[in-house]
Amino acid sequence: MITRARQINLALAAALIAAAVISRAHDTPGPHRLGQPGPAAARGFTLVAAGDVLPDSSVLERAGSDASGAGYDFRPMLAGVRPLVLGADLALCHMRTVYDTGGAPTGTYAFKSPPQVAEGLAATGYDSCSTASNHTLDDGADGVRRTLDALDRAGVRHTGSARSAPEASAVTLMRAGSARVAHLAYTDGTNGLPLPPGQPWAVGRIDPARIVADARAARRAGADVVVVSLDWGTEWQDQPDERQLGLSRQLTASRTGSRPDIDLILGTRSHVPQPYEKVNGTWVVYGTGDQIAGEMYDDQGVQDPRGDQGTLARFTFSPPARPARRWEVTKAESVPLAFDLDAGRVVDLDTALEQGADVGAVRDRIRGVVLGRGAGREGLVMAR
């Protein structure tokens, strides 16, 4: 009999082979892999976004083992999602923790991660990370600086926290297809930790007026598409809470001229997958769940396997039919993911299922949640 662990390992091996094939087809990664648009007609693009990167001590142990004791290597851990990431024109992640130079063990409430996480994200193909979360200030201004320094060294763009006021007001602008895409990020809280003295700009806080103002500033800076990442919601709740619903309605209703100010909202923090929904004509992902996490315990102290489940959102944008109109999402997709605690690997559940792994119930549960607010009627498909 093939055990569940063996089945998932077989699926992971297949994913690693696929990753190697796709890696050879993408010699230049990221928006850095896109180049400049030529004089031909406008070209659309595909954007993917995955859930929280939240390494605990068990995850660090696995990354240390994968590095054969020489630091940490997060590339094998992320290999299962790499084909999906490299298959897109633009890939976004959520770095929920801050970095420590020595890779100090992850704590219960204050999290710190080794900077090699950034190298793993870059090698996987992620182009930009949101860094605004309830853990952004776990190590104060030093933690913010170390995190952004490490992402810079790895070549991963970032948004949501800042080392200076000018950096906080700058727009993270990237090219995908023939579009310029702005990535903004904010958090609904910092677990009660105060902003560093004299640094009110250290992390972006959710304020609808500010978000709209920033989105409009991004348009003035040349953004054709504005993507907003929000660290929000109630942890361990499958459904969006009232604040999420209210903010999504308010933000997607904001318009300037003939187009909305915000083109896509990506939610994180909840630990569990939450629904996708089209609100005022704009897609909202209430919660992508966790991409990397260890053994997770809910707010009652009970181990909850949902904390190691997530989705990868994929949206295909097409150029506007007429000038000054919005870039339209012409295809919306969701791919169910899980973090295999035994193997220490991110698993594409559809691929694992095709390889014979016994993950159908988990995949179907995620599908049910994602489609729970009518996203299927609006065209969302569950796909690889």
Question: For 239, how many CA atoms within 13 A lie in the half-sphere containing its CB?
Answer: 6
pLDDT of residue 272: 98
pLDDT of residue 135: 96
Tokens of 276: 């996708």
Question: For the chain, what are the domain ranges?
Answer: 4-382
Instruction: Count other Cβ atoms within 10 Å, centred on residue 358.
Output: 13
- The residue to which tokens 């944008």 are assigned: 317
- The residue to which tokens 């919005």 are assigned: 326
pLDDT of residue 21: 33
CATH number of this structure's domain 4-382, picked from the four choices 3.40.50.620, 3.40.50.300, 3.60.21.10, 3.40.50.261 = 3.60.21.10
CB 92 within 8 A of CB 47: yes
pLDDT of residue 323: 84
Candidates 317, 320, 344, 319; CA nearest to 333 is 317
Candidates 273, 261, 292; CA nearest to 365 is 273
* Distances in whole angstroms, Cα of residue 192 to Cα of each of 109, 138, 222, 299: 11, 10, 36, 17
CB 109 within 8 A of CB 54: no
Kind of pairing, strands 264-268 and 282-285?
parallel
Residues in contact with 165: Cβ distance below 8 Å, sequence separation at least 6, in sequence order: 201
Candidates 225, 196, 93; CA nearest to 154 is 93
**Which phi and psi angles does 232 have, rounded to 5°?**
-150, -175
pLDDT of residue 101: 78
Give the separation between CA 57 and CA 53, rounded to whole angstroms.
13
Give the separation between CA 292 and CA 284, rounded to whole angstroms.
22
Tokens of 220: 């003035």
pLDDT of residue 123: 98
Query: Mind listing the pLDDT tens digit for each residue in 222-261?
Result: 999 999 999 999 999 999 999 999 999 999 999 999 899 9
pLDDT of residue 102: 62
Tokens of 40: 């031909």
Tokens of 283: 């897609």
Per-residue pLDDT of the chain (384 residues; tens, 9 = 90+): 333 343 444 344 444 333 433 332 333 344 544 444 444 678 999 999 999 999 999 999 999 999 998 999 999 999 999 999 999 999 999 999 999 976 555 555 578 999 999 999 999 999 999 999 999 999 999 999 999 999 999 999 999 999 999 999 999 999 999 999 999 999 999 999 999 999 999 999 999 999 999 999 999 999 999 999 999 999 999 999 999 999 999 999 999 998 999 999 999 999 999 999 999 999 999 999 999 999 999 989 999 999 999 999 999 999 998 888 999 999 999 999 999 999 999 999 999 999 999 999 999 999 999 999 999 999 999 986
Q: Name the region of 361 (left: φ>0; alpha: ψ -120 to 50; beta: rest).
A: alpha
